[in-house]
Amino acid sequence: MRLADRVDRRRVLALWRRTIALSWPIALQQTFNTLMRTVDVVVTGLFSPAAVAAIGLADLYAQLPLRIGLGLGTGAIALSSQDTGRGATATRDRAITQAFCIGFALGLPLIAVGLAVSEPLIAVLGAEPAVVEMGGRYLALVFAAAPMRIVGLVGARSLQGTGDTRTPMAVNVVANAVNIFATVGLGLGIAGLPRLEIVGVGLATAISRTLEAVLMTAAIASARTDLGFARPRSLTITRQLVAVSLPNFAEGMSTSVANFPFNALLLTFGTEVTAAYHIGRRIYQQLTGPLYRSFSVAASIIVGQTLGEGDAADARFAGLAMTALSLITLGVAGAVLVAGATPIARVFTNDAATLEYAAAFTRVFGVSMVFFGIFFPVSGSLKGAGDTRTPFYARFTGTFAFMLGLSYLAGVTLGFGLPGVYAGIVCSYAWWSLVVAIGFQWGDWADRAADMMAERAGA
């Protein structure tokens, strides 16, 4: 074996070890986060398929504070990781403080939206009256905690950018444990608590999100973390934060917006199909979400910090090495989903028709894990450099052209039914991975990061 091959192998293994060290707290955090949502679906599944459909449709709107938080969090982790790499702690603290303030302010109008028009928002999707009533109640409670949800996400990403993935994990595990126990207790009326059913599920979410935001803010304000709050002094930081965050917000919202007509399309096949889609989606997010999300965040941290140290070649090598690890891991996870689709789906429903459809959707998501293994670490690498436009283009074009457009064309216009929808889903994820791979290979993301850091240093 040549010396260069041995060196490269050592570099790859070293990067894999660093990735795993950063990723396992994120994966554990995401496991509890998705477990919380899984418990919500399981508990509501004990009520009726209509209750599952209600929470699934309400979650389409509940993604708005999530997308705002993730968008600002992407800006925070890009600036936080780059400034950590170059030792600019004052600039880093001002950036994350601005992200906190902007995020909380953007969440306030959603409280009024939830109180005023939650039921009409569900009704416009074409749901039946029972689904509208339950979904409206749940959505109002989720929107009530929107500012806290955004703050919690920004705080987690800010800390992760410094390489501290354990503090967000600890905070999130505590908050989600409270959510799980409150969902079971208030939803089913256990341990002397009132049986509030879907209202109890929504109330548990609001309580846990508020707790998460309070704990995350306290952790950053304390001396236990490297971060701290600082009064913003530079509009350059503000402009960069918004410039990085907006495309990421648009990326997430492109998927969320497309989900409205996509769910309306599913409703034409029946309530059971809609419920089955959300069950399949919940299964893959529970079992594989912690993996691909942790790879994405770890890629942002490592690539951002490496660029902050001034080594663009090492940053590119790191992105490729992490993508290889992600492909192996998610390929195995996808095979598990395909092989165990029916028994896993049975945990969520005992309705025969819903179970059959849910198993089919689970297999579709299992096949798609190969593309997830490429998309998430590559897009995370780009985001660590401050390039959030390429992942946005990937999701926007793929989601509307394939998940929505191809699904409708093949499923309805050409009469293939649900198999046409399955094809649209898989093709969408394949397109995502192709576009970001091209952007990573031939894009100017390293130069963009260097220009951003030089601009902040000059300011």
244-279 residue pLDDT tens: 999 988 888 888 788 878 988 998 898 888 888 988
Q: What is the pLDDT of residue 311?
A: 87
Cα(266)–Cα(411) distance, integer angstroms: 10
Quick check: 5 pLDDT over 60? Answer: no
Quick check: 383 pLDDT over 50? Answer: yes
Work out the mean pLDDT of the chain and round it to a whole number.
89
Q: What is the mean pLDDT of residues 297-301?
A: 93
The band of 2, judged by pLDDT with boundaries at 50, 70 and 90, is low
Q: What is the pLDDT of residue 428?
A: 96
User: Cβ neighbours of residue 437 under 8 Å, at least 6 residues apart?
Assistant: 374, 378
Q: Both tokens of residue 317?
A: 């090598």
Tens-place pLDDT, residues 149-173:
999 999 999 999 988 999 999 999 9
Tens-place pLDDT, residues 176-212:
899 999 998 988 888 788 888 888 888 999 999 999 9
Cα(36)–Cα(42) distance, integer angstroms: 10
The label of the residue with tokens 């953007």 reads 106
Cα(78)–Cα(387) distance, integer angstroms: 9
The band of 227, judged by pLDDT with boundaries at 50, 70 and 90, is confident
Q: Name the nearest CA neighbour of 303 among 322, 330, 328, 329.
A: 322
Q: 43 versus 292: which is more confidently predicted?
A: 292
Q: Both tokens of residue 150?
A: 């955004």
> What are the domain boundaries of the chain?
10-458
Tens-place pLDDT, residues 409-440:
999 899 899 999 999 999 999 999 999 999 99
Quick check: 367 pLDDT over 90? Answer: yes
Q: Both tokens of residue 245?
A: 């965050």
Quick check: 1 pLDDT over 50? Answer: no
Q: What percentage of the chain has pLDDT greater than the value 70? A: 98
Tens-place pLDDT, residues 75-127:
999 999 998 888 888 888 888 999 999 999 999 999 999 989 888 988 887 77
Cα(114)–Cα(64) distance, integer angstroms: 12
The band of 3, judged by pLDDT with boundaries at 50, 70 and 90, is very low
User: Cβ neighbours of residue 2 under 8 Å, at least 6 residues apart?
Assistant: none
Q: Name the nearest CA neighbour of 101 among 174, 142, 172, 158.
A: 158
Quick check: 4 pLDDT over 50? Answer: no
Quick check: 38 pLDDT over 80? Answer: no
Contact assessment for residue 427 and residue 368, using Cβ atoms and an 8 Å cutoff: no
Q: What percentage of the chain has pLDDT greater than the value 90? A: 52
Q: What is the pLDDT of residue 404?
A: 92
- pTM of the entire structure? 0.85
Cα(338)–Cα(353) distance, integer angstroms: 19
Q: 455 versus 360: which is more confidently predicted?
A: 360
Q: What is the mean pLDDT of residues 275-292?
A: 88
Q: What is the pLDDT of residue 459?
A: 66
Using a 10 angstrom Cβ sphere, with 0-12 exposed, 13-18 middle and 19 or more buried, the burial of residue 317 is middle
Of the listed ranges 73-87, 221-235, 382-396, 423-437, the least confidently predicted one is: 221-235
Helix axes 89-123, 146-161, angle to 10 degrees: 150
Q: Both tokens of residue 396?
A: 């926007």
Cα(42)–Cα(282) distance, integer angstroms: 10
The label of the residue with tokens 């046409």 reads 420
Using a 10 angstrom Cβ sphere, with 0-12 exposed, 13-18 middle and 19 or more buried, the burial of residue 397 is middle
Q: What is the mean pLDDT of residues 397-402?
A: 94
Contact assessment for residue 289 and residue 34, using Cβ atoms and an 8 Å cutoff: yes
Q: 233 versus 17: which is more confidently predicted?
A: 17
Cα(337)–Cα(59) distance, integer angstroms: 23
Q: Give the angle 452-444-11 at the CA atoms, nearest 5°.
A: 95
